[in-house]
Amino acid sequence: MVMVSDPVNELEKRDIRSIPFENLQDEIVALSEPKFRAKQVYQWMHQKFARSYDEMTNIPKNLKAKLSENFRLVSLKQVTVQESKIDGTKKFLFELYDGNVIESVFMKYKFGNSVCISSQVGCRMGCKFCASTLDGVERSLLPGEMLDQIYAISRITGEKISHVVVMGSGEPLDNYDNLLVFIKMLTDENGMNMSQRNLTVSTCGLVPKIKELASHHFQINLALSLHASNQEKRKELMPIANKYEISEVLDACKYYFSETRRQLTFEYSLVGGVNDTDKDAEELVKMLRGINCIVNLIPVNPIKERDFVEPTREHAISFKNKLEKSGINVTIRREMGRDIDGACGQLRRRHVLVEEHFD
């Protein structure tokens, strides 16, 4: 038997950054402390982005001791950052308390600063062009670990973050319960108080979860990774299409719109010769007719493990024009940080491979 010399194992304690405000109030009362302390502690973590109990200067010592006895307050550690010389995009590699690493991205837009966060370590959805999924999923992230990506980036850059997209590694709806807590905490007035409208969740299309999310009537934006103009092609690129037909996925999205009135986004990674033909554009137009949506074309960012090719810029623009002529709103995703391993999971994967190489 292995003897554990330190009975107070940090990893066995609950993560305090993952506890919503009302629950924290209950916890603090249960520690025989006045309720108002919960607000102070919560604000330290979620407004001032404190990384340790020591930083909480107006909290009495004995409460800090009780808290640290019962809850862990651990923060992401920056491993590396890559900064794009083209557009100022910064891609961070962070280490979690258990040694796993995740990626998060800071992007500057005209409308404000946005952070793209990961929802899992790795991913189990298996989309063919995506680097995050090559080794499957390691684990899901806690609400506090999703929040801390935003907090850490805000601290490091000194910038205000107005928008969040859950579009990094992982499938957010495969980490559904934690995602709901994350949404609640991100939009809490005692925390960042972010407007739901400034949050976008991107999914490969887990139909029952899209419907469940719709039933909450949040004002968050839903982005659906469509990537194909028919069921057959979608199956080739996305294994999840074996589980849910493209028509079911679209129905779930329409339901999301009917419940929330939020315009839908369809992400469509353009893969040269695979889903970027004239016929694809025609089928896509038919499929999306009448849906209040915007199509976001993402010229595929080739990963070295697969031989997908990016369409030429001219071809991507001509694909866009075809959709636009038929009255569909389209944007081509600004190629943020192409010079810095822009594609999801690429940075983490390279890091993990290098680590393994040196182990």
Interface contacts to ligand SAH, rule CB under 6 A: 125, 127, 129-130, 167, 171, 202-204, 225, 267, 269, 298, 300-301, 303, 343-344
Minimum CB–partner distance for residue 153 and ligand SAH (Å) = 18
Q: Which residue among 116, 127, 293, 344 is the active-site one? A: 344
Instruction: Count other Cβ atoms within 10 Å, centred on residue 139.
Output: 14
Q: Residue 323, class by beta-carbon neighbours within 10 Å (0-12 exposed, 13-18 middle, 19+ buried)?
A: buried
* Rounded Cα distance, 31 and 59, in Å: 14
Minimum CB–partner distance for residue 104 and ligand SAH (Å) = 12
Residue 266 phi, psi dihedral angles, 5° rounding? -110, 120
For residue 37, give every residue at least 6 positions away whose Cβ sits within 8 Å of its Cβ, in sequence order, or none: 28, 59, 63
The nearer residue to ligand SAH, 25 or 149, going by C-beta atoms, is 149
Q: Which two tokens stand for residue 90?
A: 């910064």
- How far, CA to CA in Å, does 276 sit from each of 27, 115, 235? 54, 29, 16
Minimum CB–partner distance for residue 191 and ligand SAH (Å) = 24
* Rounded Cα distance, 107 and 217, in Å: 28
Minimum CB–partner distance for residue 271 and ligand SAH (Å) = 8
Residue linked to tokens 């019962």: 70
Catalytic, 236? Answer no
Catalytic, 282? Answer no
77-83 and 163-166 as β-strands: parallel, antiparallel, unpaired?
unpaired
The nearer residue to ligand SAH, 143 or 191, going by C-beta atoms, is 143
The nearer residue to ligand SAH, 187 or 269, going by C-beta atoms, is 269
Q: Which residue among 103, 138, 145, 310 is the active-site one? A: 103
The nearer residue to ligand SAH, 27 or 267, going by C-beta atoms, is 267
Residue positions annotated with a catalytic role = 103, 344
